[in-house]
Amino acid sequence: MSTRGFFGRRPSAQAAQRLPPGQYQTEDFPVLSMGPTPRVDLATWKFTLSEGPKPLARWTWDEFEALPRTTWRGDIHCVTKWSKFDTVWEGVTLDDLFDAAGVTPPTDFLLAESYDGYDTNVPVADVIGGKGMIATRYDGAPVPAEHGGPARLLVPHLYFWKSAKWVKGIKFTPRDEAGFWELRGYHMYGDPWREQRYTNDP
Amino acid sequence: MIAGASIAAPSRWQEAVIDRVADQTPRVVSVFLRAPLARHEAGQHIDVKLTAPDGYSAQRSYSIASAPESSSIELAIERLDEGEVSPYFHEVAQPGDTIEVRGPIGGHFVWRTKDGGPVLLIAGGSGVAPLMAMVRHRTLAASSAEMLLAYSSRSWNDVIYRDELLDLAARDPGFRLVLTTTREARHRPDDLDRRLDAAALREIADRWGKTPRSVYVCGSTGFVEAVTIGLVANGMAPALIRTERFGSSA
């Protein structure tokens, strides 16, 4: 169905290839979150790996910063339709984090949990093998608070709401438990290339 | 965090017919749509898809400004000069044209009458749209919740829904309206003409004299950041504050 009188402004062929369906490229970096930006003090910041209620490992900020670091450069896609190309993040891959803790993921799913009460579910398979990190630097500087600093999850092959801001820990769960937005109309998995925006999108 | 867990999945793409396009301010039009969507809740949004003759399409999200009780869906669309979709609504769209929509979407930035009040709404520019749905819903559902809308615009002529809001504030003691203009002097003595920083928010809250049970803030990223920082500095519990920000919705 075409819209009378609409012709659109097409992205370049090169950009079009990098845009998942329904997305457009933006140069700025929009901010979306459910409430006020929490201000998290590095002196009390902790990151906890847990299985259900049981803590498996915990790091202070200094301990976390001493873990092996990886840089990732690539495109991110927000469910609100914008995509941003060539973003550069630095942090600790989940592979390195699990290694440092001596932990083999005990279940197939996890919930990333944030300081503001937000959480989001991701399959473990989507954060290992170099696919996910806890990012503490964006574009060469500490991640700004409004973009999730001090630390945010980065799972860039999924819609960006999965990349939880202000993350304080990862909890392994026996089942795929819906997180904050997943309980509020958004997709359980969120693959931008399959346009899995909302509940029950195929 | 289970409140609001009963959100239905948004519809698939549906054809929507444009009933009317009305100028609201020099930069904003209201677009009234008829579409077979489920009844929305005040604060939710829809996705809009426009398709070119060769199949190329563009999608954007817009908050619904109409009340759930309304038979048509109203979107308030600001013209962004570099935009791709907003110029279509300003220059091309006419009654009888069809577009595609899906929704309603979003289960957090929502106010229901059973949530009660007092409710503090804070809008920047076209961020008033989802808050307008809440204001109208409160009236049409005959809710007794106390509600205050603090609404920042560049100028008096940029105040979207100005006459409707002034009229409601004049006849409904449970609804309070505080306008603030950032690029010209106030028009009413009890309005403001400065940005909504902590001091301005404190003044508004003190004059209202109510303790809000929930707060909804919608506007640009910079606006929402400044307002929420001010609210929290004034002692508001962050968990009471819900935000909706728009970066670029060109």
The domain made up of B14-105 is a member of CATH 3.50.50.60:
no
- All structural domains of chain A with their residue ranges: 40-194
B241, B243, B247 ranked by CB distance to A28: nearest? B247
> Using the beta-carbon criterion (under 8 Å), do B243 and A36 form an inter-chain contact?
yes
Within 8 A of A160 by CB-CB distance, chain B residues are none
3-class SS string, A63-97: HHHCCCCEEEEEEEECCCCEEEEEEEEEEEEHHHH
Whole-number pLDDT of residue A32: 79
- All structural domains of chain B with their residue ranges: 14-105, 113-246
pLDDT tens track for B52-88: 999 999 999 999 999 999 999 999 999 998 889 999 9
ipTM score: 0.92
Residues 6+ apart with CB under 8 A from A72: A88, A89, A90, A133, A135, A154, A156
Tokens of A65: 């910063």
pLDDT of chain B along its 250 residues, tens only?
344 445 678 889 999 999 999 999 999 999 999 999 999 999 999 999 999 999 999 999 999 999 999 999 999 999 998 889 999 999 999 999 999 999 999 989 999 999 999 999 999 999 999 999 999 999 999 999 999 999 999 999 999 999 999 999 999 999 999 999 999 999 999 999 999 999 999 999 999 999 999 999 999 999 999 999 999 999 999 999 999 987 544 4
pLDDT of chain A along its 202 residues, tens only?
799 999 999 999 999 999 999 999 998 777 778 899 999 999 999 999 999 999 999 999 999 999 999 999 999 999 999 999 999 999 999 999 999 999 999 999 999 999 999 999 999 999 999 999 999 999 999 999 999 999 999 999 999 999 999 999 999 999 999 999 999 999 999 999 999 999 989 9
Whether the full predicted model's pTM is greater than 0.90, yes or no, is yes
> Using the beta-carbon criterion (under 8 Å), do A38 and B238 form an inter-chain contact?
yes
B225, B228, B247 ranked by CB distance to A82: nearest? B247
CATH number belonging to the domain at A40-194, selected among 3.90.420.10, 3.40.50.150, 3.40.50.10170, 1.10.540.10: 3.90.420.10
* Class in CATH terms, B113-246: alpha beta
Query: Which residue from A162, A192, A160, A165 is spatially nearest to A176, judged by alpha carbons?
Result: A162
Give the C-alpha separation, A170 to A159, whole Å: 18
